[in-house]
Structure 1
Amino acid sequence: MKPSFEVCLERYAGLVIKIGAALRKGQSLWINSNLDSAPFARLLATKAYEAGAAHVQMDWVDEASTRIRYELAPEDSLRTPPEWRTKAMEAHMEAGGSFLQIYAPNPSLLKGIAPERLAIGNKAQAEAMQGFRRYVNQNLNAWSMASVPTPAWAAAVFPELSWEEAEEALWDRIFQVNRVYEEDPAAAWEAHLAALNRRKDYMNAKRYRRLHYKGPGTDLTIGLPEGHIWKAATSETPDGIVFLPNMPTEEIFTMPHKDEVNGTVASTLPLPYAGRVIDGFSLTFTDGAVTGFSAKEGYEPLKSLIEMDEGSRRLGEVALVPHHSPISNLGITFYNTMFDENAACHLALGNAYAFTLENGTAMNKDELASRGANTSLAHVDFMMGSGELDIDGETADGTLEPVFRKGNWAFS
């Protein structure tokens, strides 16, 4: 018998604070939330103070106002977002605070906005966030992302249901994939993370030079840099705080070599990006860079992503997720990358994580680039896995070994 909704909500909030954000007594917490998620954000604040937080800073985002700005603000305003917010976020991280985002964007928020205005605003915002992103990309602070239903998101996932029914259905799925229904959710998470770590350790022991992908519309080879490190689920700050960046999570991931990607990859799930949906798209790579692309829906936002800067046309992450993951087994599209990326193998256009390379966090940009790490304002995951995907790992002597068969791990 499932616990009551109230019990589940308390459990979920507790997991997000203790396992996700890994809040420590005396630490400050920054919570970024849309207005629709305000009740849950306040519950998180309660849990944070109960865990000994020194201060909880609420950072509210009004999506309706965001759309109004893209519709009506002067173009110069889109090019120069206010500095006060990003400076405050940087100061919070510099002081050692933890960061938590309630991630539940409206996948169609900016549909109909002129593509050139979206491109200007997206790039300007990415540039403004570079200082803050340094703390996240290098795991200098604990940070996490979790989701709760909003009207727009629930309607996108369950368009055939009323809002009340859609909200209830989405809460059920969120609780399920975050192991909230388990008798001991924390123990269930511990067992799950241990299983992911076993996969990670296997891949790190193999030291594959390349991965070869074959699937419907996909024939792709991805080189892996010398010294690449496979990571799984949890991350660790320099002072030893272990945290969980994404809730839920089913992936192991590493860094691809920015110049050694060749072939074509086809998407398998819609990609919500900057308030638009990109779907049915394909990318062709030559020596690491996108040299051709197409999309059945969202061609313009895909084009603006690829053209954001030199690095946004190259890969920064390769992630492995079995087709029979708990999220994929639900058989629904979440229109939320944090969920959908944990339903399928995925890649990311843009910036690479320095911590997925040996001694990477001690290197400067030039040193990272010389080792094959990509640098970009962007980091956008897109799903390309399915039940028909095969992946082979290429060893140092050129031998090919099965890693995935029919979308799932080829080894136990």
Structure 2
Amino acid sequence: MKYIDEFQDPELARRLLDEIHATVTRPWALMEVCGGQTHSIIRHGIDQLLPEQVELIHGPGCPVCVTPLEVIDKALEIASRPGVIFCSFGDMLRVPGTGRDLFTVRGEGGDVRVVYSPLDALRIAQQNPDRQVVFFGIGFETTAPPNAMTVYQARRLGIPNFSLLVSHVRVPPAIEAIMRSPSCRVQGFLAAGHVCSVMGVDEYPELAERHRVPIVVTGFEPLDILEGVRRTVAQLERGEHTVDNAYPRAVRPEGNPAAKAMLADVFEVTDRAWRGIGVIPASGWRLSAEYRDFDAEFRFSVEDIKTREPDACRSGEVLQGLIKPHECEAFGTLCTPRTPLGATMVSSEGACAAYYLYRRLDLTPAPREATSVV
């Protein structure tokens, strides 16, 4: 299968690992920013095959995981209202809000539907003109363009009963926040290839230069990740800090101009809260003034909902790379995929879910230690 089998070749993986072993001379800490990369790393045991001097830190790259609790509670409030059809991707239904989740709302009689595209939600709005249809628009730069296109289409087609609950976030400001944290140990980044396929790499050189960290754009298969690690370690050993595209089969330096134009038309940059982390300046999008009528927060007057993270959940520290999932004392006991305390345990890209699925039998939760957050 093109770009699958050949990027999981064990012999090529061994060659890359040999090169990394031959290159590294001192400890380095690298952060992968994408939850998909985290799952690939843990599933294939890549972190256990690397030299002990190379540590992979899992970053805030899971879109479900970083959706703040207050936005989940806004979704629950809207979905509970009569006359509303609330549409979402399936991985959001188990994410805990304050006391319940969207599955619970559906069990209580709310019309909560799983869709596979925001355009599915738009079609539902066309088919149900007497009801309000809301799509839960979350994620990074990868999911923002289709959500923007759907709002654009709703306006163009005159579908007034459709709206978008927006919780879109941007990767570069998150890297900036991580690097500015007093607790930061990151010395190099593996940047998410799908994000860069949309946005290009223009925002990264300034970050690499200002914080003197190499940023290597990588894919998601084992060989992609190993090549990204090899290039990052090679830069660190040479004392370099540049942006390197190791995923040219999918990423062009300029990104996708059409997608970027759609984002610029429909959205505007704003400060965003990240679950377990806090507000990061200019780290997200909201609907621009021209499309504000399609903003579910305004339509349903839920802007003022504020909530507090549960004390037992340390997902914020996991998302910042301050601890590994099994270092949370609730991991695998109080917090499991069936009884999650945080989104990192239920999302298909969450680090806690990856450790639980692939490695929980080998791990023992560690005692809690005080750490600072971004």
Q: Same fold by TM (over 0.5)?
A: no
Whose relative contact order is higher, 1 or 2, with alpha carbons under 8 Å and at least 6 apart? 2
TM-score (norm 1): 0.27
> Is the helix fraction higher in 1 or 2?
2
TM-score (norm 2): 0.29
> Is the strand fraction higher in 1 or 2?
1
